[in-house]
Amino acid sequence: MAPQAPTDHNSNPNNVDTRSEKEKAIDAWLPITSSRNAKWWYSAFHNVTAMVGAGVLGLPYAMAELGWGPGVSALVISWVVTLYTLWQMVEMHEIVPGKRFDRYHELGQHAFGEKLGLYIVVPQQLIVEISVNILYMVTGGKSLKKFHDVVCKDCSNIKLTYFIMIFSSVHFVLSHLPNFNSISGVSLAAAVMSLSYSTIAWAASLHKGVQPDVEYGYKAKTTVGTVFNFFSALGEVAFAYAGHNVVLEIQATIPSTPEKPSKGPMWRGVIVAYIVVALCYFPVSIIGYWVFGNKVDDDILITLEKPAWLIAMANLFVVIHVIGSYQIYAMPVFDMIETALVKKLHFKPTMMLRFITRNIYVALTMFVAITFPFFSGLLGFFGGFAFAPTTYFLPCVMWLAIKKPKKFSLSWFINWICIILGVLLMIVSPIGGLRQIIIQAKTYHFYS
Residues sharing a CB contact under 8 Å with residue 70, sequence separation 6 or more, in sequence order = 230
For range 381-408, the mean pLDDT: 83
* pLDDT above 70 (res 16): no
Residue 278 lies in a domain: yes
Q: Do residues 375 and 138 touch, judged by C-beta distance below 8 A?
A: yes
pLDDT for 73: 92
pLDDT for 237: 82
Helices (H), 20-159: 21-29, 40-51, 59-66, 68-92, 104-112, 114-151
pLDDT for 414: 92
> How much is the mean pLDDT over the chain?
83
For range 61-89, the mean pLDDT: 90
- CB neighbour burial string for 132-171, b if at least 16 within 10 angstroms, e if fewer: bbbbbbbbbbbbbbbbbbbeeeeeeeeebbebbbbbbebb
User: If pLDDT is split at 50, 70 and 90, which confidence band does 356 have?
Assistant: very high
Residue 7 lies in a domain: no
Residue 15 lies in a domain: no
User: If pLDDT is split at 50, 70 and 90, which confidence band does 377 have?
Assistant: low
Residue 17 lies in a domain: no
Q: Do residues 204 and 304 touch, judged by C-beta distance below 8 A?
A: yes
User: If pLDDT is split at 50, 70 and 90, which confidence band does 171 have?
Assistant: very high
Q: What is the CATH number of the domain that holds 127?
A: 1.20.1740.10
Backbone phi, psi, residue 104, to 5°: -55, -45
Query: How many structural domains comprise the chain?
Result: 1
CA distances from 132 to 27, 312, 381, 400 (A): 26, 24, 12, 28
pLDDT for 167: 93
Residue 399 lies in a domain: yes
For range 397-424, the mean pLDDT: 90
Residue 12 lies in a domain: no
> Which structural domain, as residue segments, surrounds residue 201?
25-442
Q: Is the preceding peptide bond at 13 cis, omega within 30 degrees of 0?
A: no
Residue 1 lies in a domain: no
* pLDDT above 60 (res 5): no
pLDDT for 361: 95
Backbone phi, psi, residue 121, to 5°: -90, -45
Q: Any idea what the Cα angle at residue 394 is, between residues 140 and 251, rounded to 5°?
A: 65
